[in-house]
Every structure is written in C-alpha cells, then in structure tokens.
Amino acid sequence: MEINRKLSDLRRLDELSAGTSYIHGIHTLFILLVTFIYIVTLMSFDKYDLTGILMMFLYPVFMFRLAELSFSESLRKIRYVLPFILFMGILNIFFDRDPYLVINGFRLSRGAVSFFTMTVKGFLAVEASYVLIATNSIYDICAALSMLRLPRILISLFLLTFRYITVMIEEVANMTEAYSLRAPGQKGLHISSWGSFLGQLLLRSYDKANELYLGMEARGYTGDLRNYDIGKPVLKDYVFLIVVSALIILCRLINVPVTIGNLIRR
Amino acid sequence: MIRFENVGFSYDGKRQILKDISFEIDDNASVGLIGANGAGKSTLIRSVLGFLDFSGKITVDGTEVTKKTLPEIRKKIGYVMQNSDNQMFMPRVVDDMAFGPKNYGMDKEETERRIDAILERLSISHLKEAYNHKLSGGEKKMASIATILTMEPSILIMDEPTSMLDPYNRRKIQDVIVSLPQTKLIASHDLDFICDTCEKSILLYDGEIRGYDLTERIMRDRDLLEGCHLELPYRYQ
Ligand SMILES: Nc1ncnc2c1ncn2[C@@H]1O[C@H](COP(=O)(O)OP(=O)(O)O)[C@@H](O)[C@H]1O
Ligand SMILES: [Mg+2]
C-alpha cells in the first residue's frame, strides 16, 4: 500500500542514519556547517551561469561515495520534491525570451538557461540536504542546531513535526487498513466517509501526539535538545570542515568548461 | 516514597476520574495498581508524573509534584508506557537507550557502559543494534524497559506491562521486574501477574480506592474483587 511505503521511506532514513561510513563518523555539527556552506555557495551562482555550476556536482558525488549512499535510492526518496524544483524555474522560460546563444540558427533563450540553472541548483541543494539527513539522526541535527543557538521554538517545531508526521502516516495506514477490511472490493476511500475519517484522524493524532510528547518528556526532553550530548568534535571533524569547505570554494572559483575553452583557444 | 493526599482529577471538569485518593508507597516496595478497564489506573499514573492538573497533593521523596519540580520528579521516576511504540522513537534500541542519558548531559563512555550493563541484565544484548520498528512485541517491551533503566530511576512506574504479550514473554518480563530493586508501582488488570510481582496492591474502582493491602489478602477476597468487576486470579479460584 502507498501509505505503508511512505512510512517505510521514513524508516529507511532512520536506518541509513545509523550507518557506519566515514561521513557517519563525522560530527553532526560539522556536516551541518559544510552543507550550509555548500548551499550558500550554490545559491551565489548567477542564474545564467549554467557552465559554472557543473563543478558543484562534485560535492554530492563525493559525499555519496564517502557516506556509502545510493544515488538512485536518493532519487526515489526525493521524487516528491522534484516537481517543486522544476516549477520554480519554469516561468523563466516564458518571461525571459532574449537569446542567450545562437548557433547555426538554433536559438537558446536566456529563460531556458536560467531554468536549467535553477533546476540544477535546486536539485543539488536537495541532494546535499539528503546526505545530511541520511547520515545523521534528526535528534543529532536538532542538537547541532541548538549548538548554533537557533531559537529553541524553531528546533522544537522542527523535531516534533518530524516525529508527528511519522505517527500521522502510521495512523492513516491503520485506519485505511481497518476501513478496507470493512469495505471489500472498494478502491480508496468513499467520498461519504472522508469527513468522519479526517475527524477521527485529527482526534487520534492529537491523543497520540500528546502521548508521544509525554514519552519524550518522561525521558528528560525539555523542549529542546540543549543538553543533549552529541559528542565533542575531534581533529578529523575540523579537517573535514576545512578541506571540504576549501574544495567547495575552489569549485566556486574555477569554471572548468570555460578554463578548458580558454586553454584551447590560446 | 510516593504519597497521595486527597488527590482528585477530572478531564472535563464534570466527571471525577480520581476521587479523593490518599495512600503511601514506601521505598523499595512493590505495589500493584489493579482495577477494571476505566477504573482510573492510567490517570493516576499520569498525575504522579505531573502530566495532569490534579487537585490535592502528591509528593515524591518529599518533593511536591508541581510545574516547577517536574524535571526533578521525572529524573526520579522511570515511566514505562503501555504502548511501547509511543515510548520508543529513535532508530535503534541503543540510540533509544542513549536518549535519556544524553539529555541529562551524561558523557559517552558512561552512557555506553550503562547501556551494556542494562542490556546484559535484561538478557537482550543481541538487540542492541536492532531497529526498533523490527522488534516483536515482547522484544519491544523489554527494550522500552531498558530505555527507562538507563536513566537509573529510583522509582519505576509501569502501565499494563503485560498487555499484548504472550505467556512466554510475560514470564520474562515478570522475572525482570521481580529482579529490579527499585520502588515499583505497576498498573494492571492481569491479577496473576500482580500476584507474582507485587507484595501489596491498591484496588481502584471508579476512581476510588477500594482496598490497599497485602496482595494476597486482596486477591483472595472474592466479594471485594467482584464488587469491582474483577475476577479472582486463577490460582485462588
Ligand atoms: N484523555 C481523556 N479525556 C477524557 N476522558 C478520559 C481520557 N483518558 C481517560 N479518560 C476516562 O477516564 C476514565 C479512566 O481512564 P483510565 O485512567 O485510562 O483507566 P484505566 O487505565 O484504569 O483503564 C475512563 O472512564 C476514561 O474514559
Ligand atoms: Mg490504562
């Protein structure tokens, strides 16, 4: 069933985050910082700089390698986000019709270029975030965020949303299962049941959410993870941060296709 | 020590779920909280943990349960929830066990040491790296007890620890509970289980205490039990 699959998607992220690769061994705060630096660098590219951005592919490629993640699995996981990424850039095609490049009568508009650039940017940013999420538990990430002194209300919101979503999906799965048992041969939920189904869902998830919060509170959760110990950074964490950030910035500065072009022209 | 003084509670402001409850539990005692469905067992437990706005006074080791003292109270009490799925929220058993100690800022080595000792004690060392969502009902209950024990509480409160367990796992949980030295308050309508784990019992009916005595004395009193919609345990039938 579709819902059960979504749930196992979330669970799979949990499983991934418990891995033992090199990246899994890096302190969460440092992966968070590197991800942040990468995304900011990515966003700093001009929206027509399609060739420049190519170098930025190196980061996910290496990170996937080091983290022992599967690229195709990541594509499957982020498939729900991809349409949004495409949608953000697509208007450019219609509004920005000036030519960017004309070769033998083939005309590439500026809008098309910026559409590609934005799509690639969005895609890379999502992949970079995927690496972060797939190699760190949500609790570690939240604890790292609070080390960065982010407002505790934000962190709390982030954490609980994540926690409740899993539960909501579980609740929907249970309810649809119960429903389909008593409505055999029927595909989906009949429209006449939507109202009561939704009402039930809200009530149930409200109770459940309360219960979950109690469960966390009973184990010392106090609204944020300020005291939550995610270990002290060690030398390899600093090395990781410095080396990877330097490489990211290097990739920002060197435009390989253009450099090669220049060399050839000389 | 847990002490209730004239505690009352109502969810909706109309129907009283707890009615003028007073009792005391001594240190290192094991007390069963028995009663039919809806008697108010879970509600009573939640009030000790400060999850509810009750009237009257509850003290734990002399500290009154109020908004302000909650962190202190919760550090003392280990609460094993009825539904282990609500209790466990980390990917693996070991992560879940570490959540409490990490929140209290305990360092990594000490946490690790504690986790191993407790897994050993519950004979579930093989579950250390297991994923929570792949555990069976019995394993999950064991693991959720383990997550609570890593916080080294001096009081253990359990809500229906044997619901959803088969006889074999029920037996295992029973052995574990008996071997734990903490002060225990165990809510259950499984009277045979309470007979095997608790010296004394509190009988709750419709939000009132109908009896607080040695477990054996309560369990042999057919009239008392039947008046509270419970049946004699098998061993006394
Ligand atoms: N969240 C709630 N809101 C309103 N009423 C509740 C709530 N939880 C329990 N009750 C009511 O309180 C009474 C006692 O419930 P509970 O303490 O769960 O009993 P027990 O655990 O002994 O089965 C029941 O009648 C139940 O309907
Ligand atoms: Mg109950």
Residue A3, pLDDT score: 64
Nearest to A17 by CA among B155, B100, B119, B94: B94
**Looking at beta carbons, which residues of chain A come within 8 Å of B77?**
218
Summarize pLDDT for A117-139 with one digit per residue, the tens. 889 999 999 999 999 999 998 88
CA of B39 to the centre of ligand 2 (A): 8
Is the CB of residue B100 less than 8 Å away from at least one CB of chain A?
A: yes
* pLDDT at position B128 over 90: yes
Buried b (16+ CB within 10 A) or exposed e, A93-123: beebeeeeeeeeeeeebbbbbbbbbbbbbbb
Length of chain A: 266
Q: State pTM to two decimals.
A: 0.78
Helix ranges (H only) for chain B are: 41-48, 70-76, 84-87, 93-103, 108-121, 137-149, 167-179, 191-197, 215-219, 222-227
Summarize pLDDT for A29-53 with one digit per residue, the tens. 999 999 999 999 999 998 888 888 8
Q: How confident is the model at residue B190 (pLDDT cuts 50, 70, 90)?
A: very high
* pLDDT at position A2 over 70: no
Domains of chain B: 2-86+155-236 (3.40.50.300)
Residue A5, pLDDT score: 67
Q: Please give the residue of chain B at the shortest CA–CA distance from A226.
A: B103
Cα separation, B118 vs B151, in Å, equals 10
Residue A1, pLDDT score: 53
Contact B105 A14 (CB under 8 A): no
Is the CB of residue B46 less than 8 Å away from at least one CB of chain A?
A: yes
Contact B91 A139 (CB under 8 A): no
Residue list, ligand 1 pocket, CB within 6 Å: B 11, 17, 35, 37-43
Residue A41 backbone class (left: φ over 0; alpha: ψ -120 to 50; beta: rest)? alpha
Residue A191, pLDDT score: 76
Contact A139 B90 (CB under 8 A): yes
Closest atom of ligand 1 relative to the B204 alpha carbon: 22
Summarize pLDDT for A60-71 with one digit per residue, the tens. 999 999 999 999
> Looking at A28-37, A180-189, B52-61, which range is the least confident one?
A180-189
> Looking at A124-128, B56-60, B103-107, which range is the least confident one?
B103-107
- In this prediction, residues B23-38 reach a mean pLDDT of 96
Contact A14 B74 (CB under 8 A): no
* Residue A36 and residue A141 in contact, taking contact as beta carbons nearer than 8 Å: no
Q: Work out the angle between the directed axes of helices A110-135 and A28-43 (0-180°, nearest 10).
A: 180
Q: How confident is the model at residue A164 (pLDDT cuts 50, 70, 90)?
A: confident
For testing contact with chain A, the best of B48, B89, B109 (most A CBs within 10 A) = B89
Closest atom of ligand 1 relative to the B39 alpha carbon: 22
ipTM of the complex: 0.74
